[in-house]
Amino acid sequence: MRRIGLIFCSMVALLGCSGGASPGSALPPADPKSGGAATTLDDTSQAYGNSIRKLSDEQAGQFSLGHSVFSRAWVTAPATTDNLDGLGPLFNARACASCHSKDGRSAPFNDSGALLGMLFRLSIPGVAENGGPNPDPVYGDQLRPFGILGVPGDGTPRVSYEEQPGSYGDGTAYSLQKPSYTIEGWNYGEPSAELMISPRTGPSVIGLGLLEAVPEDEILEGVHGEADENGVVGAPNYVWDAEKQATVLGRFGWKANQPSTMQQTAGAFLGDIGITSSLFRKGTCSATMTACNAATSGADPDFELSDQSWQSVGFYMRSLAVPARRAVDDQLALQGEQLFSKFGCASCHRTTLHTGLADAEALSNQTIHPYTDLLLHDMGPDLADGRPDYQANGNQWRTPPLWGLGLLQKVNQHSFMLHDARARGFAEAILWHGGEGAKARENFRLAEASERDALLKFLESL
């Protein structure tokens, strides 16, 4: 295929068809390989679902099984599909792919307002033994709105939005939708009066193997002792690693509360689907949930997710390639890229990181463009969930990666962004930034329309 690619390139050159050939001042093309060697050219609605290249036969097999387990719906026990039974009894979703549709992010709610790709973390004041959030005594640390037949779910989350008008520096009006969340019909009694609820949408799962392979030192380089000229601090989260039985740097999740893809995976199986694993063997029914406790387990014999499935899903998530940046010589997008730095966005959305050694060749020693520093930042009161999560306080969120986000509309047919999917596209997402992101937001809000357009064009090209 390399040969064919070269033929195309020479043909393009010969025919003089290559775009962006304006003279002199033209900005040089950007690096399309956002994920280094772990980049895919796919820009279709399946763009997030491609494996990295150069997998060994064994790794290709793991990817196959991982994809299968990731995509398939778990079923009620007992079933002859006993490697896939044990759903719930309480759950948020039946499959990984429910919230991470096409390896991307599902819309938060469906057209009729019912929950789709969101979950709600719960806790009460205090700290659990491992330093993490203190779970509600009955409902635990996550709302499970659904149950298998005969087991009532915890309760039904509802959202309503209120439009908040605002305007750009040039007077152009915009509107942001401010969400309010309620939980209807708590089925196991009233929760603690001090219950804290943190709504979170499932992010896309591309490029996780690359992010996991960024050395800790390089992440910590992004930590400022005190605020820089843009007001940016950046703090690491330190979280409990259940495999290592130690407190380590957090990397994944909206609050960087997960140390590894493997723990993230096992945690999501338990909390979201109700599937126990060798890492998290205990189910999530609390003592007072009679039908939940009486339901048949899919345990085989001690837990439901086989180690082989767990390892495979973990590998699958690490080996999903990052879509290539598009429009790499589009002058407007390139101007937008410069503004991204000038406005201060890149202070947190670090444009370039490097990976060390990883378990697959294409992930190792790569220069990547994830647009994240993997650190926590105070994002101001408007985005705050008011719920601490290890070292993260109620105002802090981890900078999410931006790679591949320009394809969200194509893959998942929506452009909802931010931790609870309140923003309808890039512009609103920027306009919600507060706290450490306030200065960059104001630079964007007060910029000329042409500059705002350039910035958005850049983001759309990722």
Partner 1 sequence: MSVSARNLLPCLVLAGGLLSAGCSSDEGSTGASRSAVVANYSANLYRAYSDSADDAQAFQADITAFLADPTDATLATARDSWLASREHYMLTEGARFYDGPIDGTKENYEALLNSWPLDEAFIDYASKDGVVNEDVGIVNMPELLKDITAEGLAKLNGSDDEPENVSVGYHAVEFLLWGQALKDVGPGERPATDYALDGPSKNPDRRADYLKVAVEGIISDLSAVRDAWKPSASYRVEFEKGANQTKTLTNIFTGLAKFSKGELGSQRIGAAYESKHRHDQHDCFSSETLVDYERDAVGIQAMYLGNYRDNDGPGLDELVKAADPALDADLKKKLQASIDAIKDIPKPFEDAIAGDDDSPGRKKIQAALTALSEQGDAFGAAAHAIGLTIQVDPEE
CB of 205 to partner 1, least distance (A): 16
> Which of 77, 124 has the CB closer to partner 1?
77
For partner 1, the binding residue among 59, 101, 276, 284 (CB under 8 A) is 101
Cis peptide bond upstream of 400, omega within 30:
no
27 vs 24, 184, 402, 442, CA distance in Å?
A: 9, 54, 22, 26
Cα 202 from Cα 207, distance rounded (Å): 15
Query: Identity (one letter) of the amino acid at 378?
Result: D
CB of 33 to partner 1, least distance (A): 6
Are 234 and 373 in contact by the 8 Å Cβ rule? The answer is yes
For partner 1, which stretch binds (CB under 8 A), given 15-23, 132-140, 417-425, 437-445? 15-23
For partner 1, the binding residue among 22, 61, 164, 170 (CB under 8 A) is 61
Residue 425 lies near partner 1 (rule: CB under 8 A): no
Cα 404 from Cα 50, distance rounded (Å): 12
For partner 1, which stretch binds (CB under 8 A), given 58-66, 125-133, 160-168, 199-207? 58-66
Task: Lay out the site mask for partner 1 across 160-199 (x = CB under 8 A, - = otherwise).
Answer: ----------------------------------------
CB of 367 to partner 1, least distance (A): 11
CB of 454 to partner 1, least distance (A): 19
Are 50 and 103 in contact by the 8 Å Cβ rule? The answer is no
266 backbone dihedrals φ, ψ, rounded to 5°: -65, -35
For partner 1, the binding residue among 158, 224, 326, 354 (CB under 8 A) is 326
Residue 367 lies near partner 1 (rule: CB under 8 A): no
Residue 292 lies near partner 1 (rule: CB under 8 A): no
Alpha carbon dihedral 265, 45, 37, 255, in 10-degree steps, equals -40
Least Cα distance to 119 among 10, 26, 239, 202 occurs for 202
Query: Identity (one letter) of the amino acid at 238?
Result: Y
For partner 1, which stretch binds (CB under 8 A), given 110-118, 249-257, 334-342, 431-439? 110-118
Strand partners, 109: 115
Residue 331 lies near partner 1 (rule: CB under 8 A): no
Total interface residues for partner 1 by CB under 8 A: 81
Residue 242 lies near partner 1 (rule: CB under 8 A): no
Are 455 and 339 in contact by the 8 Å Cβ rule? The answer is yes
Residue 64 lies near partner 1 (rule: CB under 8 A): yes
Residue 93 lies near partner 1 (rule: CB under 8 A): yes
User: Where do runs of H (alpha helix) occur along 26-76?
Assistant: 57-71
366 DSSP assignment: -
Residue 142 lies near partner 1 (rule: CB under 8 A): no
For partner 1, the binding residue among 6, 127, 246, 449 (CB under 8 A) is 6
CB of 433 to partner 1, least distance (A): 31
CB of 97 to partner 1, least distance (A): 8
CB of 382 to partner 1, least distance (A): 28
In Å, the largest CA–CA distance within the chain is 74
For partner 1, which stretch binds (CB under 8 A), given 32-40, 127-135, 349-357, 376-384? 32-40
Residue 282 lies near partner 1 (rule: CB under 8 A): no
Q: What is the DSSP string of 285-333?
A: --TT-HHHHHSPP--SSS-SS-HHHHHHHHHHHHTBPEEPP--TT-HHH
How many Cβ atoms sit within 10 Å of the Cβ of residue 11?
10
Residue 149 lies near partner 1 (rule: CB under 8 A): yes
Task: Lay out the site mask for partner 1 across 295-324 (x = CB under 8 A, - = otherwise).
Answer: -x---------x-xx--x-----------x
- In the structure encoding, which two tokens stand for residue 21, read together? 């050939």
Residue 33 lies near partner 1 (rule: CB under 8 A): yes
> Using a CB cutoff of 8 Å and minimum separation of 24, what contacts does 427-430 make?
427/174, 427/452, 427/456, 428/174, 428/176, 428/177, 430/345, 430/455
Residue 361 lies near partner 1 (rule: CB under 8 A): no
